[in-house]
Structure 1
């Protein structure tokens, strides 16, 4: 049975307030479906590559049965933000016209405290995910995890796939053991990494990975730093994920050694 990984598309109606975290300046916004979202802008720090990381990482987390707020494509109309008084925000909105990405805003959620105990298999799945997508940003300093209704929710996967900022030698990066995993906030609790690896390989396969990569809008794939076509860029992402899954022992062993 094919898993439905499609995203809804909403139109942003109201900019509520900036969330001044990191360099990308996300915002709380309201869309035409009357829901509030954390809006990630294509005109932010790392541009569409951050949105691609967020999209791919989020959808892989979903397949791994992790809790993650709903991801949606968020359309920003050309006139949006013209009345915004803050020049920095006005520029951000201007450069973000078109298709952006947003996560459903979870009202009342609190940031995860790294000292709180987590189920070992859940911790191991999240560590596995971040080692797989090479996410350097789920540390004690910045957990990028929320607690809501006593459940752990994964947010902010935008610092993943860092190979795409240089766009060189993806094969080498795909085989990387990912030494940054030593700083992961849940590593100490991730005592079931082999079980997480086995589970991941039962739910992730080439068909699913292809389906996830095909979600990337072509509009996000016209880059100035490569002559690759949008379809060629998609193929690199697919091959990176496929190779990394086939060689997951590289990063699983690295994580196990880092725990030791």
Structure 2
């Protein structure tokens, strides 16, 4: 992954629960930054990174992501005390995604994606247990007439309960019934056949290896960061092996919409 350094705070995006912001970086690019010091903590950033990189490995459309290094002195340019505190608490490594100027929120009434793309996104969100792609909060943007996946901090919710993560591997994702693209996802079985070969053990290991060690601290379920990191890789590999449960649940949920 690329690493950039934040150089200018532009504006907060207050609709996000973690108070993300648009910043400029030393590569002259603009990014939507998610802060590790926000209330949702590093786990939200881990989910953003892992799920985002998995999406890229599968060829799904989403803004590129990068690690963003942040200096606490960055806070001096921001007059809002709340944002100053957030920046100071987030010194070090954060996560950014390319800012898409002029992008608009996805509206299913205005744009119906083709069945292949819709099915692949539904499969992907069932695999990653993404609870946040509903009609109320699609977390999809339209930019240059193309869908883009954004905001994956609520995915991988198994990592909030590591004691039961092993059991969660084989569970269907029943909340897929609320997915905003489910009505268009008529080829989920074909999506499964196309996507699974792309997620080899080597691909998963490489993605998990990108999680910054500073985000892998303070989890009492693991003795060290290496064990914590390995747990993500083990879960994802096992989830793929047991995917029949979430694939069939998604197919049933789609059929219920017909």
Q: What range describes the TM-score normalised by the shorter chain of this pair?
A: over 0.9
CA–CA distance in structure 1, aligned partners of residues 128 and 16 of structure 2: 20
Residue in 2 aligned with 1:196?
191
Match of 1:17 in 2: 11
Structure 1 match to 2:238? 243
Deviations 1:104-143 (A, max 9, x none): 0011111110222111010011011111111100010111
- RMSD over aligned CA atoms reads 1.1
Matched residue count:
254
Q: Please give the secondary structure, in 1, of the residue aligned with 2:73.
A: coil
Contact 2:9-2:77 within 8 A present in 1 as well: no
SS of equivalent residue, structure 1 residue 12: strand
**Deviation for aligned residue 1:148:** 1.2
Give the superposition deviation at 1:226.
Answer: 3.5
Residue 196 of structure 2 contacts residue 240 of structure 2 at CA under 8 Å; is this kept in 1?
Answer: yes
CA-CA distance at 1:92 after TM superposition: 0.6
How far off its partner does 1:83 sit?
A: 3.9
Measured in 1, the distance between the counterparts of 2:3 and 2:185 equals 35
Matched, 1:215 2:210: yes
Measured after TM superposition, the shift of residue 45 of structure 1 is 2.1
Does 1:185 find its partner at 2:180?
yes
- Unaligned regions of 5+ residues in structure 2, if any? none
Structure 1 unmatched runs, 5+: 1-6
Equivalent position of 1:142 in the other structure: 137
Assess, with a 3 A threshold, how the Cα gap between structure 1 residues 163 and 150 changes in structure 2: closer, same or farther: same
Q: 1:91 is matched with which residue: 85, 101, 124?
A: 85
Is the 1:170–1:236 contact (alpha carbons within 8 Å) kept by the matching residues of 2?
no
> Taking structure 2 as the reference length, what is the TM-score of the superposition?
0.96
Structure 1 segment 20-169 matched on structure 2, within 5 A = 20-115=14-109, 116-169=111-164
How far apart in 1 are the matches of 2:163 and 2:197? 30
Q: TM-score scaled to structure 1, two decimals?
A: 0.95
Q: Which runs of 4+ in 1 moved over 4 A?
A: none
